[in-house]
Structure formats: structure tokens, C-alpha cells
Amino acid sequence: MVRYTKAHLFHIRPVSSLVEETHETGHELKRAVGPLSLTALGVGAIVGTGIFVVVGEGLAEAGPAVILSFVLAAVTCLFSALSYAELASSIPVSGSAYTYAYATLGEVVAWTIGWDLILEYGVSVAAIAVGWGANFNAFLETTFGVALPERFTTSLDEGGINIPAVVIVLLITLLLMRGVKETANLNTVMVFIKLGVLAMFIGLAFTAFNSDNLQPFAPQGSGGVLAAAALIFFAYIGFDAVATGSEEAKNPKRDLPIAIIGSLLICTIIYVLVSVAAVGALPAAQLGASEAPLSEALEEGAGLPWAAALTAFGALVAITSVLLVILYGQTRIFFAMARDGLVPESWASVDARTGTPVKLTLGFGIFAALVAAILPLGAIVEMVNIGTLFAFILVNIGVMVLRRTRPDMERPFKVPIPYVWCPIGIVLCLYLISGLPLATYIRFVGWLAIGVVIYLIYGYSHSRLRHHYPDAPELPEEEPEAKVPEAGSGGSA
């Protein structure tokens, strides 16, 4: 019978062991991604469903004040983004918040955040795919005057199955199985296409700008702004996907902070400009009722159906890019958990030819396709947001813990005044969480409870920490720095 003890539950993984583990035969990912591709991964993950689809739901909550909602969500992310940048450059290992928690807060916390990230990324892929399906239909309708039957584009509770969502998830899965370099290169191309389309949208929508559409600015008051920010926070979650690629970055110490912070700042500017242009071109209530609000802003507001069709195409490219990066991040987090033995270690096997975890990628692709086929967008987005905010809270805590327990550890990037900055980040996350409905809390707690059961039944006894590092400390101790790639070891992919 397994005996659980507080000491074992909160044992941490030494940072050096985490880094050294990345060089093991059969578990070694290829370092093939440079700063341009990493930043493009961040932009690729952020600019997509949030601005092309979820902005409509935000407008329905806040009206024109959705502009402030975007700013509030961005500020919340900025505080956590700096924490991610510090930990990603200091611990360049796959797993993102899961790995950082393992090195700072102990195994049981790491498992909890890992299980939470499975929800965040896995369900996020489904939400993005649903948004892709809606835009695919809008593109067919505006360009060719035809649309797929409703039974093939709606969720199960609406009497249908979302076939386009299933198809795009499976196609992206096959691409990811080919290798990270090919994936990153294609993503970079898609990022430039969607940024060009958004620049076109901003320019054309402003030609139809009507200041009367901004009144009343905040029909639901501050409560509406908060509710919208908690919802469209979904539009920003992609920057943390950059951290999941730490182990495949050529020069993680330099490139990861640039990619994480740079992608967030670029996307915030784009989001604010797009939301101002959209509500200026068409009333917020009308945009809020649309499944493809940006296309409608150009077609109905600016009277440019050709531009609406091009925007719908840009949305397809944008959402495909997001889908690519988020599913990539999902597989790398689970890969790290499998390599640590908390889930079956066989899932961490890497294909010798492609340098990717092929079996794991295929499994998650099929799972995400099934979820996308049957669940509605609204419920999915809320589940993703609470999971992401929970991860952000633990990353901020991790920075403070590691500053106390490992003050001399090399930190290529540092959070300024961490004992002020990180608590502010935590409070902002809690503030956004407070704007989510009660049903979301219940679903989230239920998911975590399932995770605890799985950990106690399987993860605890199979943990690599338990078998290979039985004397690991409950709190981090001083340890030699593990060797990680230095500047000059590789350029941009």
C-alpha cells in the first residue's frame, strides 16, 4: 500500500536535474527555433480566435468599453508575462508553468498545475477549432454565396456536429507530427499574412468610423468591463505557449524573454486598434450578435463585401496559426509530465526522424477534435480562462519562492521588484477570476478533483522523482548550475 507523506508530496525537482534530463537519449527534443520564430509563435498563439471571434462576445458584455477590457486583460498578462520570462530563461525546459512549479513549489503543486494546463490547452484547442469553423462558414458565404448546413457546424447541444472543427484539428495534428522546425516556419508565414489582413481591416474600418457608435460607451458599467475582460482574456493566453518551447529554443536565455514580452506588446497594440476600428464602424450590439464580427464590420459598416471576404480569409489563417501553436504547447506540457513519470513514461518517447513526440501528438489531436465536435464555444472559453489565470498565479508565486530559495541562481532576465510586481500580478488574476460565472468554478474544481485522484492512484508511485531522486529536498537547495545553450549557439529558425 502506498504511503503518502507531506514531505514526499512537496519534494521539488532540482533545476540541474530538470535541465540534464533534456539530454537523455529517446527524450531529447531538437533545439531548432530562433528568436524570430519564437516571437512568431507567441504572436501566432495570441492573434486569432480572441480578436476575430471572442471580441463579439466581449462587445455583448461591455459595449464599446470592450476597448478598456482589452487593456485590463493586457495589463494582467504583462505582470505574469515578466514572471514567465524570468523562469523560462532560467529553467529552459519543456512544461512551462508545470516545470516551474516542480522546481519551486513541489510535486503535488506541479501535478495540479500540469493537470490544469491539460485543461487549458486541450480545451483551448477545441475552442479555437470551433471559432475556425464559424469563420470558415463565413468565408464560404461571403466569397461564394454558399454555406455548410447548420447540422455540420454547430455543437451537440444545438443538434449538430462541428465537422470543420474536427477536420482542421486533425490536419494540424499531422503537421505537428512532421517536426518543430517545419511547424515554426509555416507559423511564421501565417503570422505575417494575418498581421497584414488586420492592418487592412484597421485602415478600411476607420474610413467608416462613426463616433455615435461609441455611445453609450459602457452600458453595463464597470461590471460589464470586468466581465468582458474575464472573457476576452482568452485572446491573450498564447504568450505562455512560448515558454512551452523552451527546450527547443536555440538560445533560451536571450530569446525567450524577447519572444514572451515582445509578442504580448505587439498583440496588445493590434487588439486596441482593431477594437476601436470595429466599434467605430458598426454598433456594438450588432457586432456582439455576430459570429464573425470583423467581417460584418467591413461588410455592413464600411460597405466593402470584398474586404469582408478577405478578412474572413485572414481569420482562417489567423486561427489556424493559433491552433498550431496551442496544440504544440499542449503536447510539450504533457511530454514533460510523461518524462517525469507522473503519467505513463512511454508517452514521452521522441521519434528519431522528426524529433517530436509523435504518439502523444496524435493522441491529443484526436481528443481535441472530439471536444471541438460537440461542445459550444462559450462554455469552452470560460473553462480555458480560469485554468490560465490559475497557472499565472502559480508562476508569480514561483518567482518569489525561487528568489528566496535560490538567490544566487543565474537569471538572464529578472522581474523588477518581484515582491511588489508578482503580488500585483496575483491580485489582477484573482480580480479577473471574480468576473467568471459560478458554473465555471464548479467545473474547474471538479476537473482538479479528478486530477488529484489520478495523481494519488498513479502519479505518486510512478514519479521519476521518487525513483531517481529519493533524497530530493522539500525546499530547493543550492546546486551547481546545469549547462544550457549560450548566446551564439544558433540563430533564427
| Domain membership of residue 172 as a residue range | 6-468
CATH code at position 254: 1.20.1740.10
How far apart CA 72 and CA 327 sit, in angstroms, is 26
With respect to residue 245, please indicate whether it lies within any of the assigned structural domains: yes
257 Cβ contact list (under 8 Å, min separation 6): 85, 86, 88, 89, 412, 413
Q: Which residues of 125-145 are buried (b: 16+ CB within 10 A; e: fewer)?
A: bbbbbbbbbbbbbbbbbbeee
Residue 108 counted as domain residue: yes
Residue 36 lies in a domain: yes
Query: Measured between alpha carbons, how far is 323 from 129 in angstroms, rounded to an integer?
Result: 7
Instruction: Judge whether 64 lies within some domain.
Output: yes
- Contact (Cβ atoms closer than 8 angstroms) between residue 76 and residue 300: no
Dihedral class, residue 476 (left if φ above 0, else alpha if ψ from -120 to 50, else beta): beta
| Helix 221-232 / helix 418-433 crossing angle, nearest 10 deg | 100
Count of all residues that appear for the chain in the document: 493
Are 333 and 95 contacting, i.e. CB atoms less than 8 angstroms apart?
yes
pLDDT tens, position by position, 168-188: 889 999 888 887 777 778 888
pLDDT at residue number 239: 73
* CA nearest to 177, candidates 370, 359, 372, 366: 359
Q: Cα 337 to the chain's mean position, in Å?
A: 18
C-alpha span between 22 and 18 (Å, rounded):
7
Cis peptide before 216 (omega within 30 of 0): yes
**According to the model, what pLDDT value does residue 25 have?**
55
Q: Is residue 478 part of a domain?
A: no
Q: How far apart are CA 116 and CA 387, in angstroms?
A: 6
Domain membership of residue 293 (yes or no) is yes
480 falls within a domain: no
Please tell me the predicted confidence (pLDDT) of residue 382: 61
**Helix, strand and coil in the chain, % to nearest 5:** 75, 0, 25
> CB–CB of 369/129 below 8 Å?
yes
Question: For position 424, what pLDDT does the model report?
Answer: 93
Number of domains in the chain: 1
33 has which bridge partners? 249
220 touches 73 (CB < 8 A): no
The residues, ordered by sequence, that sit 6+ positions from 253 with a Cβ below 8 Å of its Cβ are 89, 92, 412, 413, 484, 485, 486, 487
User: What's residue 24's pLDDT?
Assistant: 59
C-alpha cell at 91: 529553467
Name the stretches of the chain with pLDDT < 50. Answer: 1-2, 4, 6-7, 475-482, 484-485, 487-493
Q: In whole angstroms, how far apart are CA 144 and each of 133, 135, 137, 309, 312?
A: 16, 14, 10, 9, 12
Residue with cell 463585401: 305
Q: Which residues contact 465 (CB under 8 A, 6 or more apart)?
A: 11, 13, 107, 340, 341, 472
Q: What burial letters (b/e) apply to 75-107, b meaning 16+ CB within 10 Å?
A: ebbbbbbbbbbbbbbbbbbbbbbbbbbbbbbbb
Predicted confidence at residue 312, as pLDDT, reads 76
Collapse the DSSP code of 33 into the 3-class scheme (helix H, G, I; strand E, B; otherwise coil) and give the result: strand
Name the residue with cell 512568431.
40
- Examine residue 492 and state whether it is found in any structural domain, yes or no: no
Residue 249, SS3 per DSSP: strand
Report the pLDDT value the prediction gives residue 16, as an integer from 0 to 100. 65
Q: What is the structure's pLDDT at 489?
A: 45
With a CB cutoff of 8 Å and minimum separation 6, the contacts of 331 are: 176, 356, 357, 360, 361, 364
Q: How high is the pLDDT of residue 38?
A: 80
CA torsion 319→440→329→36, rounded to 10°? Answer: 60
Please give the backbone phi and psi of residue 400, each rounded to the nearest 5 degrees, phi first: -65, -40
